[in-house]
């Protein structure tokens, strides 16, 4: 994993995962270019890259405007493609906006990558959402695709662009399908970024947590530094063209247990319970946790940080931030 003097592009690099990746790759000696138009609702913040602000190049452009930074694309060794919006609920309210951000812009971007630099390794941030309601657990990469919202459909179209163009020899892309990611620089003050964002936001402003229903659904949250490791491996291993890997956490925990761990780490009271809201029922997927055997076998990646430890680090980071 030698990133020294490598030309790296990070799309969505002002967002949660992208900014952590930017900080790490700068530390490894890479020349980092961030492409991020700071679209509202996507979690972008200049604050996120504050530690490396003067050592990266920031292009405040949408990836759909890739023609305007074709030169940077032509010189890239690795492109970490994290641009996009992740909100389930927002996508159901504004599906055309979600299509534009998550599909149309990706199509335009990849067409420029294809013509300017077909040999650059692209690592695309996919999502476990596309599996929908799990038909079995843990969920591996062969699980049927059944998105439960527009966001999942549009992310999956972008995933297929990467894979189809790579299989046909026009790109060299790898797709990571991420489960619930948490950690420093998470967008706590943007609506509908997932339950962990809600939990941490409440705890940082002194509210106690609520669990909907019985809270027995399982999840396997993964700490952002573990996810950054997966991106770095996927960005540097040869011969991965058109491979897909699930990326998940080290433990399958119930939402109630996750809420208890978060509350305890924050010194907050135990979570309370309330009925499941109707609006969320339609897109609830029950239990989900990840089969990470493939990425462990092929890339030697394993999540290292357990939830209690990761949440403590996240809360410590959040406490040092100005309250939005």
Interface residue list for a copy of itself (CB under 8 A)? 95-96, 99, 103-104, 107-108, 111, 142, 144-150, 152-154, 156-157, 160-161, 163-164, 167-169, 282-283
168 or 293: whose CB is closer to a copy of itself? 168
Question: In the bound complex, what is the minimum distance in angstroms from residue 282's beta carbon to a copy of itself?
Answer: 5
Question: In the bound complex, what is the minimum distance in angstroms from residue 117's beta carbon to a copy of itself?
Answer: 18
154 or 202: whose CB is closer to a copy of itself? 154
Question: In the bound complex, what is the minimum distance in angstroms from residue 277's beta carbon to a copy of itself?
Answer: 15
144 or 269: whose CB is closer to a copy of itself? 144
51 or 144: whose CB is closer to a copy of itself? 144
64 or 271: whose CB is closer to a copy of itself? 64
> CB neighbours of 215 closer than 8 A, spacing ≥ 6?
254, 255, 256, 259, 271, 273
Question: In the bound complex, what is the minimum distance in angstroms from residue 99's beta carbon to a copy of itself?
Answer: 6
Question: In the bound complex, what is the minimum distance in angstroms from residue 131's beta carbon to a copy of itself?
Answer: 12
């Amino acid at each position: 994993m030698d990133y020294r003097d490598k030309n790296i592009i990070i799309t969505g690099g002002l967002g949660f995962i992208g900014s952590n990746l930017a900080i790490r790759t700068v530390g490894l000696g890479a020349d980092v270019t961030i492409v991020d138009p700071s679209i509202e609702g996507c979690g972008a913040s200049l604050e996120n890259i504050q530690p490396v602000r003067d050592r990266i190049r920031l292009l405040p452009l949408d990836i759909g405007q890739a023609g305007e930074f074709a030169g940077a694309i032509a010189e890239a060794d690795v492109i970490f493609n994290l641009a996009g919006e992740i909100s389930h609920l927002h996508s159901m309210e504004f599906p055309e906006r979600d299509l534009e951000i998550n599909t149309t812009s990706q199509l335009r971007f990849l067409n420029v990558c294809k013509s300017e630099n077909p040999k650059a390794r692209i690592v695309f941030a996919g999502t476990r959402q596309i599996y929908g309601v799990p038909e079995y657990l843990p969920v591996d990469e062969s699980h049927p695709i059944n998105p439960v919202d527009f966001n999942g459909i549009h992310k999956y179209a972008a995933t297929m662009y990467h894979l189809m163009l790579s299989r046909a020899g026009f790109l060299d892309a790898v797709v990571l399908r991420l489960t619930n990611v948490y950690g420093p620089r998470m967008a706590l003050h943007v609506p509908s970024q997932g339950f962990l964002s809600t939990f941490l936001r409440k705890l940082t402003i002194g509210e106690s947590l609520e669990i909907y229903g019985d809270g027995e659904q399982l999840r396997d949250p993964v700490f952002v530094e573990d996810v950054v490791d997966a991106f770095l491996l996927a960005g540097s291993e040869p011969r991965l063209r058109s491979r897909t890997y699930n990326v998940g956490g080290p433990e399958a925990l119930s939402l109630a247990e996750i809420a208890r761990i978060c509350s305890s780490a924050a010194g907050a009271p135990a979570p309370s319970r309330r009925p499941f809201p109707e609006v969320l029922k339609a897109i609830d997927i029950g239990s989900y946790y990840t089969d990470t055997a493939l990425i462990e076998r092929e890339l030697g990646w394993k999540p290292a940080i357990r939830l209690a430890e990761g949440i403590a680090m996240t809360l410590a980071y959040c406490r040092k931030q100005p309250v939005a």
